Amino acid sequence: MSARQVTLAEVAKQAGVSLATASRVLNGSTRQVSEDLSERVLRTAEELGYVPNASAQALARNSSSLVGLVVHDITDPYFSCIAAGVTRVAEEAGLVVVLGTTGRRPEREAELLSTLRAHRARAVVLAGSRTTDRAAQSRLAAEIDAFTEQGGRVACVSQAKLGTDTVVPGNRAGGRALARALAELGHKKFAVLGGPSELVVARDRLAGFKAGLTDAGIAPPVVINGAFTRDGGYAAAMELLASKSRATCVFAVTDVMAMGAMAALRERGVRIPEDISIAGFDDIPTLRDTVPALSTVRLPLEEMGEIAAGLVLDAGGDEARTVRVAGEVVLRASTAHN
């Protein structure tokens, strides 16, 4: 066992050419190699089952074919969709994606970035949401700098202001549009299940939603904060119920939270939408099969992943580019007229 790996040198020797020539043939270069030699090398490589040593190539070229992808939780459909987009693009470009998960701990983001830097990843997509945690944020910024200085590119999904390329979903605008749409249904009293207050995404959606209510001349909503997860939504909804709120419509800042909230309501015998309407944000694919179908703001998640990967892969200038992605309000069965 452990038969040693076939090296370029062996291929070269076997084919009767120099190392340089073999390298040029097999791994492409600006230089031309005669048809004759070229074919001989190719054939020998094939016969010997040569596979280039990626580490050696990375070392020699001082750049690898790794692309990092950092998410909070890969089981969350929001992230897995983005991941799908990123991997598709990366694989098409012949690159390999490294998956890092933070488990929602902000400090892990910087750690992962450092690891990625050690591996000389050529690019990283940061899909975790930005927090307002000063310390974590500045450490992250430092790592991003180090990473880019080293020649790597960084793109963020949904968190601007880090001086990197960014894909920005219309969180605020989406929240606002949703609020208006719900107001048009006749609702007057709203509650919001907001995520953790330090998450910028959650804040933006909430702020947009409030603005939309203001537009419609409606009083600000009750806000209940909770974790950015299904269980967070469940707990927040329970809290809402306990508070004897008179809200007729609930906005959960995330579909995943909305799912949890719906479960809580259902459990307590609250009918949706007869007793209370509910809406989410993201339009994750699993929503297709929810009953009642959840109203939400659709974000093209997979596409966002593709865009981020695209940004990070084609060089671009020094300027940090920003691609805005609009959210589209989709009203379904979970929201009714009031």
The site for DNA (CB under 7 A) is made up of: 4-5, 7-9, 16-21, 23-24, 26-27, 29, 31-34, 36-37, 50, 52-53, 56-57, 59-62
Residue 105, SS3? coil
Dihedral of the CA atoms 78, 196, 185, 221 (nearest 10)? -170
- Tell me the C-alpha distance between 97 and 66, whole Å: 6
**Smallest separation, CB 127 to DNA (Å):** 29
Q: Are 295 and 334 in contact (CB under 8 A)?
A: yes
Q: Which residues is 225 bridged to in the sheet?
A: 194
DSSP 277: E
Closest to DNA by CB, 29 vs 214, is 29
CB of 20 to DNA, least distance (A): 3
Interaction with its own copies in 63-92: which residues (CB under 8 A)?
A: 64, 66, 69, 73-75, 77, 80-81, 83-84, 87-88, 91
303 belongs to the binding site for its own copies (CB under 8 A): no
Q: How many other CB atoms sit within 10 Å of the CB of residue 242? A: 9
Check residue 96 for interaction with its own copies (CB under 8 A): yes
Question: With CB cut-offs between 5 and 8 Å by kind, which of its own copies, DNA, none does residue 18 bind?
Answer: DNA
The least distance separating its own copies from the CB of residue 179, rounded to whole angstroms, comes to 24
Among residues 65 and 101, whose Cβ is nearest to DNA?
65
20: partner contacted, choices its own copies, DNA, none (Cβ within 5-8 A by kind): DNA
- Calpha distance 197→216 (Å, rounded): 25
Spatial separation of the C-alpha atoms in residues 181 and 57, rounded to whole Å: 55
Residue closer to DNA, measured from CB, 41 or 224: 41
What are the distances in angstroms from CA 69 to CA 63, 128, 166, 289? 17, 9, 14, 28
* Three-state secondary structure call for residue 82: helix
- Displacement of CA 158 from its chain's centroid (Å): 8
CB of 224 to its own copies, least distance (A): 19
The answer to whether 112 and 140 are in contact (CB under 8 A) is: no
CA distances from 35 to 21, 38, 39, 88, 192 (A): 12, 5, 6, 34, 69
Provide the mask over 119-158, with x wherever binding to its own copies is found by CB under 8 A and - wherever it is not: xx-------------------------x-xxxx-------
Q: Pick from 7, 42, 48, 52: which binds its own copies (CB under 8 A)? A: 52
At 335 the three-state DSSP class reads: coil
CB of 36 to its own copies, least distance (A): 27
Is 114 a binder of its own copies (CB under 8 A)?
A: yes
Closer to its own copies by Cβ: residue 266 or 324: 266
With CB under 5 to 8 Å by kind, the binding choice for 69 among its own copies, DNA, none is: its own copies
Residue number with CB closer to its own copies (62 or 214): 62
